[in-house]
Amino acid sequence: MAAQETVEHKYVYDFAEGNKDLKDLLGGKGANLAEMTNLGLPVPPGFTITTEACQAYLGTGTEPAGLADQITAHLTALEREMGRRLGDPDDPLLVSVRSGAKFSMPGMMETVLNVGLNDRSVEGLARQAGGSTDQPASGGSTDQAASGGADRFAWDSYRRLIQMFGKTVCDVPGEEFEHALDEAKRAKGTDLDLDLDADDLRGLVDAYKKIFTKHTGREFPQEPREQLDLAVRAVFDSWNAERAVVYRRQERIPADLGTAVNVVAMVFGNRGPDSGTGVAFTRDPASGAQGIYGDYLANAQGEDVVAGIRNTVPLQELERIDKDSYDELLDYMARLERHYRDLCDIEFTIERGKLWMLQTRVGKRTAAAAFVIAGQLVDEGLIDLDEALHRVNGGQLAQLMFPRFQLDHDFQPVATGIGASPGAAVGKVVFTSARAVELAAEGEAVILVRRETNPDDLNGMIAARGILTSRGGKTSHAAVVARGMGKTCVSGADELDIDVPKRRFVVAGRTVTEGDVVSIDGTTGKVYLGEVPVSPSEVVRYFEGELDPASTDDALVKAVHRIMSHADASRRLAVRTNADTAADAARARRFGAEGIGLCRTEHMFLGDRRELVERLILARDPAEREEALAALLPLQRADFVEILREMNGLPVTVRLIDPPLHEFLPPLEQLAVNVAVAQERGEDVAKEEALLAAVRRMHEENPMLGLRGVRLGLVIPGLFAMQVRAITEAAVECTRQGVPACPEIMVPLVGAVQELETVRAEAERIIAEVVGGSDVDVLIGTMIEVPRAALTAGQIAEAAEFFSFGTNDLTQMGWGFSRDDVEGAFFWRYLELGIFGISPFESIDADGIGRLVRIAAEEGRAARPGLKLGVCGEHGGDPDSVHFFHSVGLDYVSCSPFRVPVARLEAGRAAIVTTGSDSR
Ligand code: ADP
Ligand code: MG
Ligand code: MG
């Protein structure tokens, strides 16, 4: 028994034991450090504490049994390898403690460098550094101060430890350290950290320690192992920091993944002019072009690059500074890229001429670069087209379709906020909603500028070309509402000092007053003064047929063409468009639409046809009503002929009139005033009074849930019949002229099969009568947009040849909220709380509303095999929703013309399963 040892769970992995596919266990950073180690790249030795250790700790509140011993064992091995002991007073080993979850996550603890320094080992570090450093005889450069001594280096490292440890491990407010540092610089009469010498830094360490003790009630821990253990624990705890929790909820990252912790032997980029630190990309992450991209900062430790304390130099200059390291780095970059088969980004440090690799990962990139790189990698034989299709996504394509600012001139942004809703907007600055409405009514393009918006700003937001706020992020009111409207928005541009009463803001020392022109980029978040010229998207020009992918030398267009062609060849879903006019239909066809999934007929009752609609509504007897309908018939028929002709035999789904009729009448208040004024003048107001009475009669508390859709068709005799006749006659006319026509009549808002049966009986009679002997086939189907329809789809399918899911109404009615009211009122709060990861109007709520779709699809097809299924509404062009509709087995999605390419791309991606990396 004594000989038998229990095999304990393995919580710690040496870098040599891991690999890139172990991200779940080792986190992204740890898995890639292991991968580089195994590739033979020079990674400082270290080990990774697994996410499982973190999960166990978070579950019980204490480190799991065995973890401490395993850390000891790996630390001992590390010490042996380095020939130094952690925090040894004479020659200390120092380590960094780095968080690293599977997904990188804002709000999580970052890195603590220089763990292992204390009052004694700092002297040891200085002695070692001094002993082994060949001090340049005469530096003669600004680097001289920095390299000016091993003492300085050691004390600088120590003060950084107290600062980082205090801030990230013990929650000491970071500003206090910043203040103390500023104080030390002021005392020295400089603004440069590098001018502080060893004695100054010694003093600073004392000040830092006092700050630490004041906030924590204890001395700064001198025991190296205790420093390490506390830092590890702090990384674990940071998994549940509030910001991280909210972020996970929004991104639907499971809450129980936990984070790994990497413990890495320190290498020092701050040892003198022959040391430094930098970042590199294997291709240009902005354009995708091949070449050398990155920044280097001599004589610095990692966080200095990010903090922007000193100016970096372009990576190419490293060739001059240290050619050997440069060549070596380039060699590793090429190897990493071949190995990962993708753009990699890299963090590295050079310590006295020796290159160390500190991090790599598949790098982030712009939308354009994503397409270009995917195309290049296919050319290089590193990936196939299926994988290329998965390396891009519809969100990126959508970004590339917005017009862009032409920044080749000398436009410099004056502020950068958050790109909250994409697009390029130019206009005159206004500060109130009322003023926005006023100027817009005069035909001016305006940008509404607010500290933050609230529901009172809605009208101004509608009137404005773009919205600019100085507060709030991607889930602020401004951001959420703007995205819902498809309007450009930059939020949280906090460099703007906005004074609404004075109608002006100050930025970068300049005052911008009402009426001045600004340009805002909702993709990059950049704000420019003046009018930046806007150029159309090359990608749209390609879709429009203006750019030939075969002859252009635009790398992006070529790549988009190639990947889109593959998406089209791969997808199962057809893509249709929502188009109410022949012009929209024509554009959508150029964008690749294979039919119209939703042709609304409402607009056909507006303009100079309003008068006929009024006559229809006010009709006192059937004869008057029929007269009005008879007058509308030829107008409607002409509309449909135009659209059917444009679509030339592709299916065209026409929705019978849907909104409540009072929407076609003048608003109540306006009528009431008109009547009163006319009465005052003694004019004959019989007609207006009748109209007013009708509007009053039709007034609804909840028009969304009122007399609309099929209900209207059942209540107003002859209305639907007129439309059915117009559609069928138009189809017959087209066919007679040799243009094939394929109309589909769609009945809105059906909740019960009886409604549809009633409409259908009449429609079939009319169709048979009109079609006569000609070769025209008219389908009759329904929208599924009322929850009851989804739940009785089996019955409804008996009377429907197709279903089209109206997911906007289905979302409204399924959740029980009206879009117009809720988006401005509380969605921002729901997003902030993580109740929604994304607005359910932007992307279908697969669990709830999606379930209704699934049920209806299954039960509808069970009742009528081959039932044609589609979706219309903006969800049809939303990437995640397209994947969902693919999985449900719909036949097509339909979306606005501009979204058609996005839907094509995503439908292709949904149809292809790859094992490679995926761009979501
Ligand atoms: P982030 O996730 O924010 O990139 P890292 O863990 O990569 O945080 O650490 C930030 C920087 O700290 C690194 O880029 C590197 O420059 C520096 N760093 C981390 N570990 C070490 C180390 N062992 N030796 C030297 N520098 C390090
Ligand atoms: Mg980080
Ligand atoms: Mg890093």
Question: Does ligand 1 have an atom closer than 6 angstroms to the CB of 302?
Answer: yes
Q: Whose CA is nearest to atom 11 of ligand 1?
A: 302
Parallel/antiparallel/unpaired status of strands 517-521 and 424-430: antiparallel
Query: Rounded to 5 degrees, what angle do the CA atoms 914, 916, 918 make?
Result: 85
- Sheet arrangement for strand 497-499: 497-499, 504-507, 510-513
Q: Whose CA is nearest to atom 24 of ligand 1?
A: 266
SS3 786: coil
Nearest to residue 354, comparing CAs of 83, 132, 34, 33?
132
Q: Which residues of the chain have pLDDT under 70?
A: 1-6, 107, 131-148, 250, 305-310, 409, 914-920
- For residue range 843-895, list pLDDT tens digits in order: 999 999 999 999 999 999 999 999 999 999 889 999 999 999 999 999 999 99
Shortest-distance ligand to the CA of residue 348: 1
How far is the C-alpha of 623 from the C-alpha of 761, rounded, in Å? 23
Instruction: Please report where in the chains the tokens 């809105």 appear, as a residue.
Output: 748
How distant is the alpha carbon of residue 885 from its chain centre?
20
Question: Does ligand 1 have an atom closer than 6 angstroms to the CB of 97?
Answer: no
Q: Which two tokens stand for residue 221?
A: 């821990």
Name residues whose C-beta falls within 8 Å of residue 628's C-beta, 6 or more positions apart in sequence: 612, 613, 615, 616, 619
Shortest-distance ligand to the CA of residue 244: 2
What confidence score (pLDDT) does residue 307 get? 59
Per DSSP, helices labelled H in 737-878 are 753-771, 787-791, 793-797, 807-815, 819-825, 827-832, 849-863
Q: Which two tokens stand for residue 430?
A: 């206004």
Tally of CA atoms within 13 A in the half-sphere of 691 that contains its CB: 23
Active site annotation includes 872: yes
Q: Whose CA is nearest to atom 14 of ligand 1?
A: 302
Are 262 and 332 spatial neighbours (Cβ–Cβ below 8 Å)?
no
Nearest to residue 15, comparing CAs of 7, 39, 24, 83?
39
- For residue range 345-398, list pLDDT tens digits in order: 999 999 999 999 999 999 888 899 999 999 999 999 999 999 999 999 999 999
What confidence score (pLDDT) does residue 81 get? 95
Nearest to residue 277, comparing CAs of 286, 263, 267, 285?
267
Name residue 278's beta-bridge partners.
Answer: 296, 348
Question: Does ligand 1 have an atom closer than 6 angstroms to the CB of 180?
Answer: no
Per DSSP, helices labelled H in 311-421 are 318-321, 323-340, 367-379, 385-390, 394-401
Query: Considering 477, 566, 883, 886, which one is annotated as catalytic?
Result: 477
How far is the C-alpha of 259 from the C-alpha of 253, rounded, in Å? 12
Are 682 and 707 spatial neighbours (Cβ–Cβ below 8 Å)?
no
Whole-angstrom CA distances from 128 to 87, 218, 271, 356, 729 are 13, 30, 12, 20, 94
Question: Does ligand 1 have an atom closer than 6 angstroms to the CB of 709?
Answer: no
Atom number, ligand 1, closest to the C-alpha of residue 99:
6
Q: Whose CA is nearest to atom 20 of ligand 1?
A: 96
Are 780 and 730 spatial neighbours (Cβ–Cβ below 8 Å)?
no
Question: Does ligand 1 have an atom closer than 6 angstroms to the CB of 413?
Answer: no
What confidence score (pLDDT) does residue 719 get? 95
Question: Does ligand 1 have an atom closer than 6 angstroms to the CB of 361?
Answer: no
Query: Considering 734, 872, 875, 886, which one is annotated as catalytic?
Result: 872
Question: Does ligand 1 have an atom closer than 6 angstroms to the CB of 98?
Answer: yes
Ligand 3 mean position to 347 CA, how many Å? 6
Ligand 1 mean position to 592 CA, how many Å? 47
Q: Whose CA is nearest to atom 8 of ligand 1?
A: 111
Question: Does ligand 1 have an atom closer than 6 angstroms to the CB of 723?
Answer: no
Ligand 1 mean position to 44 CA, how many Å? 11
Q: 308: burial class by Cβ within 10 Å (0-12, 13-18, 19+)? A: exposed
Q: Own/partner pairs for 774-778, CB < 8 Å, 24+ apart? A: 774/732, 774/735, 774/736, 775/735, 776/728, 776/731, 776/732, 776/735, 776/741, 777/742, 778/727, 778/728, 778/731, 778/743, 778/744, 778/745
How distant is the alpha carbon of residue 873 from its chain centre?
20
Q: Whose CA is nearest to atom 23 of ligand 1?
A: 266
Q: Which two tokens stand for residue 920?
A: 């979501």
Question: Does ligand 1 have an atom closer than 6 angstroms to the CB of 277?
Answer: yes
Atom number, ligand 1, closest to the C-alpha of residue 95:
23
Atom number, ligand 1, closest to the C-alpha of residue 305:
16
Nearest to residue 482, comparing CAs of 469, 459, 466?
466
Largest CA distance in the chain: 113
Query: Rounded to 5 degrees, what angle do the CA atoms 365, 366, 372 make?
Result: 85
Q: What are phi and psi of 916, to 5 degrees?
A: -80, -165
Atom number, ligand 1, closest to the C-alpha of residue 98:
6
Q: Own/partner pairs for 457-464, CB < 8 Å, 24+ apart? A: 457/433, 458/433, 458/824, 459/433, 459/434, 460/430, 460/432, 460/433, 460/434, 460/435, 460/436, 461/433, 461/436, 461/485, 461/487, 463/433, 463/436, 463/437, 463/439, 464/427, 464/430, 464/436, 464/440
Q: Which of 15, 48, 98 to mutate to test the pocket of ligand 1 (most atoms within 8 A of CB)?
A: 98
What confidence score (pLDDT) does residue 267 get? 96
Active site annotation includes 699: no
Query: Rounded to 5 degrees, what angle do the CA atoms 886, 888, 894 make?
Result: 55
Name residues whose C-beta falls within 8 Å of residue 169's C-beta, 6 or more positions apart in sequence: 109, 112, 230, 231, 234
Nearest to residue 236, comparing CAs of 213, 262, 218?
262
Ligand 2 mean position to 64 CA, how many Å? 25
The full 3-state SS of 267-325, as one line of letters, equals: CCCCCCCCCEEEEEEEECCCCCCEEEEEEEEECCCHHHHHHCCCCCEEHHHHHHHCHHH
Q: What are phi and psi of 491, to 5 degrees?
A: -115, 165
Name residues whose C-beta falls within 8 Å of residue 157's C-beta, 6 or more positions apart in sequence: 94, 113, 114, 117, 122, 125, 268, 270, 301
Are 914 and 342 spatial neighbours (Cβ–Cβ below 8 Å)?
no
Q: Which of 306, 349, 361 to mutate to test the pocket of ligand 1 (most atoms within 8 A of CB)?
A: 349
Are 875 and 881 spatial neighbours (Cβ–Cβ below 8 Å)?
yes
SS3 393: coil
